[in-house]
Amino acid sequence: MKQEKLNSRQIQAEATKNKIYQVAIKLMEEKGYTNIKIEDICKEAEVSIGSFYNYFKSKNDILIEVFKRIDDYFREEVKNRLEENSVCENVVLFFSYYAKYSELLGVDTAKCLYTPEIKMFLIQGRYIQNLLQEILIKGQKSGEISEEIDLDIMNSDLFIAARGIIFDWCVNDGKYNVTEFMENYFRRMFGVFCK
């Protein structure tokens, strides 16, 4: 799919949106989500409050943007790295990248996302879920995963496990290497399903 070339105004708009987003993430990491105001974000990003509202409807939209960027990360960075491996190795790598992205966000930002108030995890049909489903389907077709396993349930279960690990990492204030923990966990857990 060919991307349209952006004009200078669109490039500037994207840069401004990204700056607001990056500053919001930085402030969340420093002060916590509940302790920052839109005014704080705008002051630090050196933009007007009106500029903020051009890109985000509310402070909560920053969190929604995090989820959109996770999907973009998996589409642009992760997908091509998963193609030449066994299904078991791909699942381990997939969730390793999932943990790495959480580390990049930082533990305090992850704490803002891993709460019962954030319902983005419940949205079906996101790119990240579809990519994992492709991996599982390929594994079932190749015979690496039993045909008796319901892949929709497996997909959901794997994400629940991964979110639990990130939540535990948050509860422990990021005191351990979550990527290493995630890899080891999925090697043990997912290995049971592979032939």
For residues 63 and 119, membership in a common domain is answered with: yes
Distance CA 157, CA 161 (A): 6
pLDDT of residue 99: 97
For residues 26 and 109, membership in a common domain is answered with: no
For residues 85 and 176, membership in a common domain is answered with: yes
* Three state DSSP letters for 113-178: HCCCCCCHHHCCCCHHHHHHHHHHHHHHHCCCECCCCCHHHHHHHHHHHHHHHHHHHHHCCCCCCH
For helices 60-73 and 127-141, the axis angle rounded to 10 degrees is: 30
145 bridge partner residues: 194
The domain that holds 40 is classified in CATH as: 1.10.10.60
For residues 102 and 80, membership in a common domain is answered with: yes
For residues 28 and 107, membership in a common domain is answered with: no
For residues 63 and 39, membership in a common domain is answered with: no
The domain that holds 96 is classified in CATH as: 1.10.357.10
Distance CA 192, CA 88 (A): 10
Q: Which of 41, 56, 71 is the last residue of a domain?
A: 56
Distance CA 101, CA 128 (A): 12
For residues 7 and 22, membership in a common domain is answered with: yes
Q: Contact at 8 Å (CB) between 27 and 40?
A: yes
- The CB density around residue 77, as the number of other CB atoms within 10 Å, is 12
Q: How many structural domains comprise the chain?
A: 2
Q: Kindly write down the DSSP assignment for every residue of 28-72, as one continuous string.
A: HHHH-GGG--HHHHHHHHT--HHHHHHH-SSTHHHHHHHHHHHHH
Q: Which of 38, 56, 74 is the last residue of a domain?
A: 56
* Residue span of the structural domain in which 29 resides: 1-56
For residues 72 and 24, membership in a common domain is answered with: no
For residues 97 and 153, membership in a common domain is answered with: yes
Q: Which of 37, 56, 75 is the last residue of a domain?
A: 56
For residues 122 and 171, membership in a common domain is answered with: yes
For residues 98 and 132, membership in a common domain is answered with: yes
pLDDT tens digits, the chain, 195 residues: what are they? Answer: 445 676 788 788 888 999 999 999 888 888 878 888 999 999 999 999 999 999 999 988 898 888 899 999 999 999 999 978 889 899 999 999 999 999 998 898 898 888 887 778 888 899 999 999 999 999 999 999 989 999 999 999 999 999 999 999 999 999 999 999 999 999 998 776 665
For residues 8 and 84, membership in a common domain is answered with: no
